[in-house]
Amino acid sequence: MEIRPNQTVDNSSIPRQQQQRATAASSKQPVSSPNPVDATSVTQRLQKELMSLMMSGGELGVSAFPEGESIFTWIGTIEGGKGTMYEGLSYKLSLRFPLDYPFKPPQVKFETMCFHPNVDQFGNICLDILQDKWSSAYDCRTILLSIQSLLGEPNPESPLNSYAAALWSNKEDYRKMVHKQYFAGEASES
């Protein structure tokens, strides 16, 4: 229904909910994307992040490099933190950066089997900065360090793996399961 200025419209036959939706829709201006996609600037940012990681990441126990020819697909590695159940273990992750990075977070998954309350059997990670708490100020290094920190400090209140969350309070059994899954995963990769 088109409304023209100075035209009287009888809305009494239209349900109130539809009237509210129509009013809300008509009050919205067309929104242009605040962050138009510029593959060149995304590529430059990723190259800068790669250089930063190469300069300092290794000493922090994290690293990542593009996989193949695409700057948008990386393979990362995190070392289990000292004093955690994951100490001495090394985990491989895949990182897929969207074309509108850094305005949207990359998709990050564990490629190495990881027994953890916030990691499911497919390698998906429940970490707020990869979802609703993402900020364009974060970079690949921040992501990898946050995941490394998550290994030692899980959030059992928001589990993707409820068995791991339940076992977390029994440190010895938890450590055994971490190692069992890690080494079973390594054996299947060989």
Show which residues are catalytic: 126
Decide: helix, strand or coil at residue 40.
Answer: helix
* 147: nearest Cα among 87, 77, 96, 89: 77
Cβ neighbours of 102 (radius 10 Å)? 21
Q: Are 108 and 143 in contact (CB under 8 A)?
A: yes
Long-range (24+ apart) CB contacts under 8 A made by 2-8 are none
